[in-house]
Chain A
Amino acid sequence: MRYEAPKTLEQAIALLSGANGQARVLAGGTDLLIQMRSGRAEPELLVDIKAIPEMRSIVAETGGYRVGAAVTCMELIENEAFAQAWPGIVDGVRLIGSIQVKGRATMGGNLCNASPAADSVPALIAAGAVVCIVGAQGRREALIEEFVAGPGKTTLANGELVVSFLLPRRGPHSGDAYLRFTPRTEMDIAVVGAAVNLTLDDTGVCSRARVSLGAVAERALLVPEAAAALIGTRVDEAALKRLAAAASAACRPIDDKRGTKDFRIKVAGVMAQRAAEIATERARRPS
């Protein structure tokens, strides 16, 4: 097995496209090394992208933020400005593995591992993030909710690389939140994850909302029906009940060692409602 650490995107792309699918990107490695140890991944070439500056930066851009794909969880959590702007995304990132894992795990890695239960993805979907991808044919952008195809599968073509995420600008009175359900308080994989991102108008009525659920389908879902339950309301008890019902209805989970179908369906509604309450409370705070 070969190891390369390119310094530029071009070098990285060349390495990836030239390896006829036998190359894997090494960012934090906290998923890849586990798969290599268990034999689920046997790459012939590892392309370490941590030396490429563009992938390690967090910059304010067009009122929003551009976050490099190789930014680690701890770097994002420790970025005061970003945590102020997107508390919900940081909620999700804060729940990934342990402090030690978060010291290495990256935003791009969490997305490209394509686990339906990835903790950072629902909040990115609720935020309406855009994934910036580069390949031999140049750059392209993809909506994050369409980026993952299914468990362990993304829509990247051979030789393509996720470079960064673009978080759009958000108006005042906006708030987002992410909650997940796990048996323990830490160290578990989400049994259910729920992210809500909403904006209130000056009178406190919800004008925009996006809701996303994790670990309840083959990939994280954008759930428009759940968002619709909030838009135009003051996010009162009734609206929250409708949100919970819509969230549960959108689930198509599996039974596995972490949870049963009915459990996920029921708890998805509970988590979505509680996340909406936190998002609303954050939106109502004077920004």
Chain B
Amino acid sequence: MARIALASNLAPYTDGVLELELEVANVRQLFQALGERYPELRVHLEAGLAVAIDGEIYQDALLQPIAHDSEVILITKIAGG
């Protein structure tokens, strides 16, 4: 079970839940699991979230593997001007 933490700005979409554990093998499965559990989060998941897996940040990396003991943090997608 990977430990999942959500950036605090996502609290409104998860009824305040910011930490949970999920059995997921990659980012795509993570987003699907979160989307089912928190429908309001779905629109943000693919379009607007990046994922830090064990300290490395991945953006638009749906097939990036997540190990069973990974520490995963969901953060807002970063972009620039």
A contacts B directly in the complex (CB < 8 Å)?
Answer: no
